[in-house]
Structure 1
Amino acid sequence: MVFEGVPFTERIGLAAAAGADAVEFWGWRDKDLDAVANACDEHDLNVAAMLGSDVPLTDRARTSEARRSMRESIETAARLGCSTLIITVGQEQADIDHSTQRGAIVAALESVAPDAADAGVTLAVEPLNTAVDHPGYFLESSAEGYDIVDAVGDSNVKLLFDVYHQQITEGNVIANMTSHLDHIGYVHIADVPGRHEPGTGELDYENILPALAAAGYDGYIGCEFSPEGDDAAAVSDCRTILNG
């Protein structure tokens, strides 16, 4: 979402110049992975996260395909030294009851969790808002996300708490994060409305981020936003906010 329109590996250098210490991206299948690895090495950046699922976990008819997709992503993450795979679970299937779909999600995650553990990769299941950005998506509440993590019961399966999405869905983001910190493997930030950089909307990150740190979170915080102004300035300003 940042430095769009620039060749992908050049975006890595721009992120480094703006003060980022890691990068994340969505899909990996369209990337030149050797070029990505070389660019990260050149600029001393880690790949913090990337998408790990491109097949809906909610559809039992595609369970084998979904598991294969996640295993391929785990192998790719290990190749890039990426510690987190973002797992989007897919759209709600209209002809299947909710509990059955949830069971399919849990079963798929259980089946690949040992592969993730062997590779040193965390699978971070992401709830998304359905009101603005992702109508029809299966998983919108952090509470159900935490329940899925509990049902899988593996330390390599966690929740990705996206503050932007959860502010739209449920609010009360500080309490909803800090009360389940042991379930959280990754955090995304952006402001509401508009999904722009922190400081452009209603979220008080000067309180949210210190509260998260005080509760003991020490993992990556990904700045997943569409800059309202200059991209480099937005990344630099976000880094300043993260550093307190």
Structure 2
Amino acid sequence: MTNSPALSVCLDTLFTNDTFVNRVDRCAELGVDGVEFWEPADRSLPAIRDRTVANNLAFVGMVGCTTSLTNPNVQDQAISELRSNLETAATVDCENLIVTSGPECESHGWQTQYDNIVDTLQTVAPDAEEAGVSLILEPLNTTVDHPGAFLSRSETGFDIIDEIESPNVRLLYDVYHQQITEGNIIDTMRQNLNRIGHVHIADVPGRNEPGTGELNYQRIIESLVDAGYDSYVGCEFRATGSDISAVNSALEMLDN
């Protein structure tokens, strides 16, 4: 990892006209630093690991849990799934597991759901530290893409991170989601940089590449660099035109 942000590409949103494993090669040809994707089910993880190693790319992340973290009735299942996926991630050199809260659980109050997220992640935090893998908790917007999700505001996510107090449990700050939910992107990221382990980018509206919507992404990236952010910026957008052009534009933003 360099002392400035590195670029990662989400294989579920870009180069989708190619086979999943071959998308790694497509990314490497453009000079990006790493790849990530969503759920690992039905993916050939060893093949992806081998392809990232061959291309000198980082295996940045994948989804780490599909079980809800808000429902105490399935907490044991969530813990078991996270522990299993942490072991898998360590085996294939995956650096991060992306974790979302799951939906609001109507049978339990807000505080119970919040406490269950904290308790679940706190329980598996030592496993994450032992595996050398980070759990990155992602708030999602409920207005457009994820109605009913429990965790939508970054402030709540940062509170959860503070309660867990583990270097291997951080926040995934998705600029697209947080622009829709709350705005104030630059100040929020700068003031909470020590809690952020990964950043996703896409413009608003549309979830397309930076430059197609209302956000000044050049200024956002500059502010991250100035603040000393040195982890990954993930391209989790769908290109309006050429995928190659969209990724190259993102690379140029980081290089400027």
TM-score by length of 1: 0.97
The structure whose RCO (Cα within 8 Å, separation 6+) is larger is 2
Q: Tell me the residue number matched to 2:197.
A: 185
1:101 aligns with 2:113: yes
Give the partner amino acid of 1:114.
P
Q: Tell me the residue number matched to 2:234.
A: 222
Structure 2 counterpart of 1:75, from 79, 87, 91? 87
Deviations 1:163-221 (A, max 9, x none): 01000000010011111111111111111110111111111011111111111211111
Give the partner amino acid of 1:199.
G
Structure 2 residues not aligned, in runs of 5+ = 1-12
1:41 aligns with 2:53: yes
Structure 2 counterpart of 1:157, from 159, 169, 192? 169
Give the partner amino acid of 2:255.
N
CA distance in 2, matches of 1:48, 1:25: 9
1:32 aligns with 2:32: no
- 1:58-207 to structure 2, matched below 5 A, reads 58-207=70-219
CA distance in 1, matches of 2:56, 2:234: 17
CA distance in 1, matches of 2:28, 2:69: 34
Displacement of 1:5: 3.5
Structure 1 residues not aligned, in runs of 5+ = none
Displacement of 1:238: 1.1
In percent, how many aligned pairs have the same letter? 47
RMSD of the TM alignment (CA)?
A: 1.0
Does structure 2 retain, via aligned residues, the 8 Å contact 1:129–1:166? yes
- Counterpart secondary structure, 1:83: strand
Deviations 1:103-136 (A, max 9, x none): 1100100110001001111111000100000000
Q: Tell me the residue number matched to 1:9.
A: 21
- Counterpart secondary structure, 1:123: strand
| Runs of 4+ that moved beyond 4 A | none
Displacement of 1:99: 0.6
Displacement of 1:148: 0.6
